Each structure stands twice: as structure tokens, then as C-alpha cells.
Amino acid sequence: MNRPARGLHGQAVEIIGERILRGVHAPGDSISPDQIERELGVSKTVVREALRVLASKGLIDSRQKRGTFVRPRSDWNLLDGDLLRWQGLGTPDAAFLDNLGEVRAIVEPAGARLAAERRDEADLAALEDALRQMAAAGDDAQAAVEADLAFHRALLAAAHNELLTRMEVVIEAGLRVRDHLVHGSDHGSDAVPAHRAVLDAVRAREPEAAARAVHALLAQAAADLHHLTDEAARREPE
């Protein structure tokens, strides 16, 4: 998955991109390169390169007379790693999390079926290692998140389908948001048994059992997340 870019150019991309994803610069809004240059204290070359990167992601466009503006959301490359990451910053967006859940429900059970048919010993070792890390994480939320991500990456890799593996970027972005919420609370369910059931079915070469185990895992994850969001809503002042 894309990581935050470094340097002045990278910082400019991050700042402008995050603002667009948060709605500070809404679709149709104009963006002034001169204003960005003054605000960030960077050169015209830095701003020009940052805007070029954002244009390649479908976020902005430039036209004669109209200048630089934010494109409609339907034009954005929402599968881009940076866009996925920016959507997960700050307060999580419920629609984004719902979209993630739907994508996972489509992709991961199918991936588990293939993994049960195609896995090799290296795949099983990677899944087992991720599960050990998950069990050892305890109350360490960051370690639990990384172990969860490692397991789901290994599961997709075990399907031995290059295109399916590329879906990792979608799953990872949302998992980081969801997992930080769940593992950072006192109400998350023990994730190890549900993941162990997936691994057992994959090891036994039982495709349908593997798919069912993933569906059960996703249902548990959704229940944990809904509990947290409902709790947060109850705490909000009227």
C-alpha cells in the first residue's frame, strides 16, 4: 500500500489530497497554485509537480480560463493507495467502512476458496505465523492490527492469483481504520478463534468450509464495529 510521501513535494501532495478527500476542496472548487505556494512556502516547481500527481489520481484537472479545479468524485481513482489511506484519516467515514465491508464480503470468501485449493506449505507457514502474532499481541493495539493485516495478506497470497492479490490495497486501507477502532477499545471480540477456523479449513483443503469461516469472521468484525459506532453515537451530546 502507498505510504506517505516525503520531501516538500510529498508534503504538498499529502496536504492537498487530504483536503480534497475531507471535502475542504469540494468537487468543482477552484484551487489556486499561487495560494498553495504562499501557504506552504514552497516553489512553483514543487506545487506544479504535486498538482501533476493529484491529476494522475483523477482528483483535479486544469483548463484554460477555468484554471485548476477539483474533479467530480466519480472521476477519482478510489482504488489508489493514497486515496484509500486519506479516506481513513481522522474520523472514519461510515460510508467508506460500509463499502469496505461489502468489498471484503465479495473478495475474501472467494479468495479463501482458492487458497484452500492452491495453498502450499509456505502459505500455511505465513498464515500460522500471522496467527501466532495475533495471539501474542495481547493489549497491544498496533501489534494486533499488524498481525491482522499480515493474516489477510497471506490469505490473498495463498490464492495464487496476481490480480486478486492486488485487492490487498483495498482491504488493508479499511482494515487499518477498523482495526484501530476495534483493537483500541475494550469491546472487541477475540479475533484468534475466527482466524484459526479459516486457517484450519485452508490447511484441510476444504474450499466451502474456508469460505464459510471467512463469512463468520467478517460477521464478527462487523458486529464489533457496529457496537463501537452505536456506543459513540450514544455518547454524542443531543
Per the domain annotation, does 1 fall within a domain?
Answer: no
The whole-number pLDDT of residue 2 equals 47
User: 212: burial class by Cβ within 10 Å (0-12, 13-18, 19+)?
Assistant: middle
Q: Which of 20, 40, 75 is the last residue of a domain?
A: 75
Q: Are residues 140 and 94 part of one domain?
A: yes
Q: Are residues 186 and 148 in the same domain?
A: yes
Residues 68 and 99 occupy one common structural domain: no
> What's the predicted TM-score (pTM) here?
0.79
How many domains, the chain?
A: 2
137 part of a folded domain? yes
Helix boundaries (H) for the chain: 7-22, 33-40, 44-56, 81-87, 94-118, 121-137, 141-157, 162-165, 168-183, 192-203, 207-235
**Residue 2 falls within a domain, yes or no?**
no
Residue 100: the pLDDT is 82
User: Which CATH number fits the domain that encloses residue 16?
Assistant: 1.10.10.10
Give the contacts of 199 (CB within 8 A, at least 6 positions apart).
124, 127, 128, 131
Domain co-membership, 120 together with 196: yes
CATH code assigned at 163: 1.20.120.530
Amino acid, single-letter form, for residue 227: H
CB burial class (10 A; 0-12, 13-18, 19+) of residue 187? exposed
Same domain, 64 and 127: no
Same-domain check for residues 221 and 140: yes
Single residue among 24, 42, 75 that ends a domain in this structure: 75
Q: What is the mean pLDDT of each run of 10 residues along the chain (238 residues)?
A: 65 94 94 94 94 97 94 93 81 76 91 98 98 90 88 96 89 73 63 95 98 93 72 53
Residue 131 and residue 54 share a domain? no
Q: Tell me whether residue 194 is in a domain.
A: yes
Residue 69 lies in a domain: yes
Which range marks the domain in which residue 35 is found? 7-75
Q: Is residue 191 part of a domain?
A: yes
Indicate whether 98 and 179 sit together in one domain. Answer: yes
Same domain for 58 and 132, yes or no, is no
